[in-house]
A and B are shown apart, each in its own frame.
Chain A
Amino acid sequence: MSFLREVQLEKEFGPSIVFREALGFLPNLIRAQSLLPRVIEAQAKLEDAVRLRAGDLSRAQKERILLTIAADRRDTYCVAMHSGVLSSLGATPGQIDDLLNEYRGADLSAPDLATLQFCLKLSRNAPAVQWEDIEPLRVSGLTDRAIFETVVVTALAIYVCTLSAGLRPELDFQARELPSPRAGSPAKTPRASSSADIHRGWERKGPYLPAPYLSPHTFEPFAILQRTHGFMPKFFRSQTLRPDLLKAELEAVNSILFPEDALSRVQKECILLAVSATNLNSYCVAVHCNLLRGLGVSPEEGDQIAVDHHESALSNADKALLDFAVKLGAHFSDFSNEDVIGLRALGFTEEQILECVVVTALNNFANTLQMGLGIEPDFAPPPVFEENKVHLSGAALTPMQGAGAVHLVDKPQDVDAELVAQAQGGKLEAFEELVRRHTQLIYRTLMAILGNAIDAQDAMQDTLLSSFKHISGFQGRAKFSTWLVSIARNTALQRLRSRKNVESLDQSEYEEDRDFRPRQVRAWQDNPEQCFSKSEIRQLVETGILALPPKFRVVVMLRDIEQLSTDEVARQLGLSVPAVKTRLLRGRLMLREWLSPHFTTSTKGATQ
């Protein structure tokens, strides 16, 4: 028996047949997930595409990668299983022993050796992987598709090992003897080896492999992704070299993340965020912070979970759930049945615990893929996370003790910090100076929401009074200017509500926003702004902006007038970046329609 309760799977259960046909047996790891058949379906799809058939790598090559990583992680279940499978594919006991002891001594071709070396680095220390690690694979003769498959197989190895650590199924084959661990390896915890590595991790330019354009009109999974996520993360767009693998992956993601019969979607996103943060994966941290915002969680709460979930507003049970996931995901060798018992005691069901294990495994799969492919971020990660990464990794060097996790060490750098401290101490002059620094930003935010100057100036007074009243509650987790904007936003929204036509600024349906199509198709002049005086242009633009519905107006105002980055606008408004992008495009296109009659080539007054 594994850690969790099991039920009998039906004989005709499709996914079981997939494994039986390819392997000749149903792995106990699959039986250990029988409480949630949909997660078995997900794994079967993934394994069928990635592992159970030959692709650009042969089945034996794939099993060698899986076995080498399992041995490196000292995962007795996976070692026994992959040894059994390799032997059924014709490997001799001697060849298997060579892999278990020291792959470099095994009788393998140069490309195979280079592949195993790469896979081990990716598995042990993903944040340190860079361009230079991909090159030897190319030099040894691997095609881009084969390299891609190598990364995906490595990610699958980690998925399966994480499941095995979390469920501890009975062995399918006799246990294999593993050599005693050598000093320095295997790595216990994924980590960047130095702070230099970490920073390069964020600045480095990927992706390492080409990603041909794939249209959502012809590749249906992309259309589905657009609907479920509201955008197409680069994570998936960077994997178009092998649409077959990508499709399987997306199907697995959908059946693991979206149903809410065990854990809620928010709980699952929190797991993905917390474990990605511990794995120092900036890309995934940024994505899950944004997805959480889309689910109604504030940017500050998302940041807090990334940096230290113990200090977040989550319930104690949910914090324990994250402790469990972080331990399994990043400190797997310390994970034991005690951790499962702990969650049970807090009232989590067997299904929920199982799902937490699966989501953690999926997270590690995704983290590995992102780092192995060098996928470029869609959004900036939270600044507070980036600044604390050095401390996070330092803490990650020590295996976690019980509920121990990382605490926020540094506050984000904020030019206002000193004045804020003085103002919090009651110094009015400091407050006045602070306010003067940000009047323009406050005014534009108010203007954007309220749409007229008199109201905005009135609301400014309320905003300032309210910010002084609450300044002692400002904890410095966000920038002071961000906090001020949020006060201005609330003040303005309160005023709006007292008016008749209330228009919501809330996160809303992506669909409605996307259906907008531009109408004006006449070409514009070369230097349109030269036909009008500066004040005429300003008048035109202001009128156009004021005519926009508030939810578009706010975004255009902060992005194009106040010139904040898209990430900052999202943060200030508590929206996800994709939602901001959609609104921004729509607002810009509406402005374009408005300006067009004045700037098209046939406009009167055009001199050329």
Chain B
Amino acid sequence: MITCDEFFAEFADYLENQASPEVRQELELHLSQCRACYVLYDSSQKTIKIVSESNSFELPQKVFDPIIDRVMSKLRTERS
């Protein structure tokens, strides 16, 4: 079986679902037998899900309105 270090070296690709079938097989065998790496994998996947579904830093369009209005009026003044 591969070591934890070897697992970690492939981890980024595995999380992005980009590992080749042969590599994935090795990684999954490791995951089935190494609790620490399984926890790492499971929690990392959950992290990605939580972060990407969090709507973070999403502002309602109206917050931008005054900024856009200021910019547009500035551009109009420059033009005339």
A positions within 8 Å CB-CB of B: 207, 210-213, 215-217, 226, 234, 237-238, 376, 428, 431-432, 435-436, 439-440, 443-444, 447, 457, 460-461, 464-465, 468, 517-518, 520-524, 528-529, 534, 537-538, 541-542, 545, 556-557, 560-561, 563, 566, 581-582, 584-585, 588-589, 591-592, 595-596, 599
Contact B54 A541 (CB under 8 A): yes
Number of A-B contacts (CB under 8 A): 134
Shortest Cβ distance from residue B17 to the other chain A in the assembled complex, whole angstroms: 11
A401, B57: Cα distance in complex, Å: 55
Per-position 1/0 for B5-40, Cβ under 8 A of A: 110110111011000101101100000000010011
Given A518-B40, A521-B40, A534-B55, 10 other A-B contacts at CB below 8 A?
A: A237-B23, A461-B71, A538-B54, A545-B51, A545-B57, A560-B48, A588-B48, A591-B51, A592-B47, A595-B50
Shortest Cβ distance from residue B3 to the other chain A in the assembled complex, whole angstroms: 7
Given contacts A210-B22, A213-B2, A521-B39, contact A584 B68 (CB under 8 A): no
Contact B71 A213 (CB under 8 A): no
Find chain B residues with CB under 8 A from A443 CB.
Answer: 57, 59, 64
Contact B72 A428 (CB under 8 A): yes
Contact A542 B46 (CB under 8 A): no
Contact B76 A541 (CB under 8 A): no
A589, B54: Cα distance in complex, Å: 17
For chain B, residues 35 to 80, give those with C-beta under 8 angstroms from any C-beta of chain A.
Answer: 36, 39-40, 42-44, 46-59, 61, 63-64, 67-68, 70-72, 74-76, 79
Contact A542 B70 (CB under 8 A): no
Shortest Cβ distance from residue B61 to the other chain A in the assembled complex, whole angstroms: 7
Find chain B residues with CB under 8 A from A461 CB.
Answer: 67, 70-71
Shortest Cβ distance from residue A290 to the other chain B in the assembled complex, whole angstroms: 14
Give the top 5 A-B pairs by smallest Cβ distance, nearest first. A585-B12, A541-B54, A592-B47, A464-B71, A524-B43
Find chain A residues with CB under 8 A from B42 CB.
Answer: 523-524
Find chain B residues with CB under 8 A from A560 CB.
Answer: 48, 51-52
In the complex, the chain B residue whose C-beta lies closest to that of A541 is B54
Given contacts A211-B22, A522-B39, A524-B39, contact A439 B50 (CB under 8 A): no
Given contacts A211-B22, A443-B57, A538-B55, contact A435 B6 (CB under 8 A): no
A72, B55: Cα distance in complex, Å: 60
In the complex, the chain A residue whose C-beta lies closest to that of B61 is A439
Shortest Cβ distance from residue B14 to the other chain A in the assembled complex, whole angstroms: 10
Contact B9 A216 (CB under 8 A): yes
Contact A523 B43 (CB under 8 A): yes
Partner among A226, A464, A529, A566 whose Cβ is within 8 Å of the Cβ of B68? A464
A534, B36: Cα distance in complex, Å: 29
In the complex, the chain B residue whose C-beta lies closest to that of A210 is B22
Contact A528 B50 (CB under 8 A): yes
Partner among A216, A440, A541, A566 whose Cβ is within 8 Å of the Cβ of B51? A541
Find chain B residues with CB under 8 A from A534 CB.
Answer: 54-55
A432, B67: Cα distance in complex, Å: 11
In the complex, the chain A residue whose C-beta lies closest to that of B50 is A529
Contact B76 A521 (CB under 8 A): no
Partner among A207, A210, A213, A440 whose Cβ is within 8 Å of the Cβ of B58? A440
Find chain B residues with CB under 8 A from A237 CB.
Answer: 20, 23
Given contacts A211-B20, A439-B61, A464-B67, contact A538 B47 (CB under 8 A): no
Partner among B11, B25, B67, B68 whose Cβ is within 8 Å of the Cβ of A585? B11
Shortest Cβ distance from residue B43 to the other chain A in the assembled complex, whole angstroms: 4
